[in-house]
Amino acid sequence: MFRFLLGRLAQSALVLGLAVSVVFALLRAAPGDPLSGSTLDATTAPATRELLRRQYALNRPLLEQYAHFVGSALRGELGMSLSRGRPVAQVLRDVVPNTVLLMGTGLFLGILGGIALGAWQGSRDTRSSATSARVARMSERIGLAIIATPEYIVATAMLTLFAATWRLFPIGGMVSLGVHDSLGPVARAGDVLWHLTLPALTLALIVGAGVARYQRTEMRLVLARPFIRTARAKGVPEARVLVHHALRNALGPVITLCGLLLPSLVGGAVFVEAIFAWPGMGRTMVEAVTGRDYPLAIGAVIVSSVLVALGGLLADVAAAVADPRLARGRR
């Protein structure tokens, strides 16, 4: 297991290095630099602009900039954010916990809900009641519709319905402005939770719809296997057959899927954060890329790549724990 872990860590480091280098090159290849946008309205004096260009080494050759960046990154320095006027590490320290809270909650609810729903859908067969089968089919169709709908439309629909129309949740932000700071600690946590609910549910819907689809298919495959028939023939109660025999065996591929879902979840979080005004890393990353804030964009990519790599690693470990043959096979 140790060698397996070591191998996966080395792979993750390689992926991280590649991702950061590609983003570095892509950002530089995009026309314009962090200061070229300001040339359109002359809000920054030319002398000031040139001074900043020198300060941020934007006038140096590309390879020199890259070498400087790699050297700084290896020392743990991510540089200064050009759009926010402070160290990138500080900016990320503010926003990463917010994203982890949102993504963590969304992922947890999505996976849990998706597995439960998919397992239930997969267990509906000819022995189920007509109503139950109809509800299962309807939930499958709704899930398919959610998968087929772009994330930003799902998020906008949730916001419009539950916040703007029915006023069940706040429109956006992470706290109730003007009120939050005067609340006690418990009430403050409740306030954050209230603001978290709708964006987290949106992410959970996006994640859960995909997970449920895979879980349903796996469940059906497992339920068709001989050992299930044997268990039923031995008189094992149906609930125990479904949960202990079928679901446990159907979880493996879904655990791997959850690891693979992380990159798309990061992408989904960008839209959800923008639409729900959630002050997280996704929003920060978009602003950094559109404003050509190179240090901040790359810093955000490093953090999200680490999160994705960690998620993938955890999924692999979980799958290996669930099925030790996987770890042995890698040797």
Partner 1 sequence: MLAIAACSGREGSGGGTVIVALGADTKSLFPPVAAGTVQGRAMVEPMFDPLAELGASLSTVDVASFAPRLAQSWTWSADSLTVTFTLDPRARWHDGAPVRAADVRLGYDIARDPASGSSTVADLSAAVDAVTVVDSLHVAAHFSHRSPEQFYQFVASFVPLPSHLLGAIPHDSLATSAFSRAPVGSGPFRFVSWKQGERFEMAAVDTFYRGRAKLDRVIFSVNGDPSTLAKQLFAGEADFYELLPASEVATAATKKTVQLIRTPSMNYAFLQFNLHDGASTKPHPVLGDAGVRRALAMALDRRAMLQNVFEGAGRLAMGPFSSMQWSADSTLRQPRFDRTAAASLLDSLGWKIGADGTRAKNGHPLAFSIIAASSSKPRQQYAQLIQEQLRQIGVKVEVEVMDPPAIGAKVTSHTFDSFIQNLTAGRSPVGGLHQTWYKGSTGPGGLNFGGYASAAVDLQADSAFSALTTTDARRHYRAVYQQIIDDAPAIFLFEQPTISGAHTRLVTGALRPGAWWKSIEQWAIAPGGHLPRDIPRDAPPKS
Residues that bind partner 1 in the complex, under the rule CB under 8 A: 30-52, 80, 83-86, 91, 94-95, 156, 159-160, 163-164, 167, 170-174, 176-179, 181-182, 274-277, 279, 283-284, 286-287, 290-292
Name residue, tokens 């949730």.
158
Which of 98, 249 has the CB closer to partner 1?
A: 98
Residue 80 pairs in a beta bridge with 87
Which of 77, 94 has the CB closer to partner 1? 94
| Residue of 262, 147, 269, 260 lying closest to 212 (CA atoms) | 147
Q: Which is nearer to partner 1, 246 or 281 (CB)?
A: 281
Q: Both ends of the chain: CA-CA distance in Å?
A: 9
Q: Which is nearer to partner 1, 72 or 160 (CB)?
A: 160
Q: Give the span between the Cα atoms of 250 and 123, in whole angstroms.
A: 12
Shortest Cβ distance from residue 159 to partner 1 (Å)?
Answer: 7
Tell me how crowded residue 97 is: count the other CB atoms within 10 A of its CB. Answer: 13
163 is written with which tokens? 């916040």
Q: Is 80 helix (H, G, I), strand (E, B) or coil?
A: strand
The smaller minimum CB distance to partner 1, of residues 86 and 134, is found at 86
- State in angstroms the smallest separation of the CB of 271 from partner 1: 10
Phi and psi dihedrals of 87, rounded to 5? -60, 140
Distance of CA 165 to the CA centre of its chain: 27
- Least Å distance, CB 257 to partner 1, is 30
Nearest approach in angstroms of CB 43 to partner 1 is: 4
To the nearest whole angstrom, how small is the minimum distance from the Cβ of residue 192 to partner 1?
Answer: 13
Give 210 or 291: the residue with its C-beta nearer to partner 1: 291
Nearer residue to partner 1 within complex by CB, 54 or 229? 54
Residue 234: phi, psi to the nearest 5? -80, -5
Report helix, strand or coil for 87: strand
Q: Which two tokens mark 69?
A: 């960046």
The helix-helix angle for 88-123 and 294-322 (nearest 10°) equals: 40
Cβ–Cβ under 8 Å, residues 292 and 299: no
Strand partners, 87: 80
SS3 content of the chain, % helix, strand, coil (to 5): 80, 0, 20
Q: How far is the CB of 133 from partner 1 (least distance, A)?
A: 40
178 torsion bin: left (phi>0), alpha (psi -120 to 50), beta (else): left
Considering beta carbons, is residue 250 or 298 the nearer one to partner 1?
A: 298
CB of 30 to partner 1, least distance (A): 7
Q: How far apart are CA 227 and CA 246, in angstroms?
A: 9
Nearest to partner 1 of 101, 236 (CB atom): 101
Q: How far is the CB of 293 from partner 1 (least distance, A)?
A: 10
Closest separation in Å from C-beta 50 to partner 1: 7
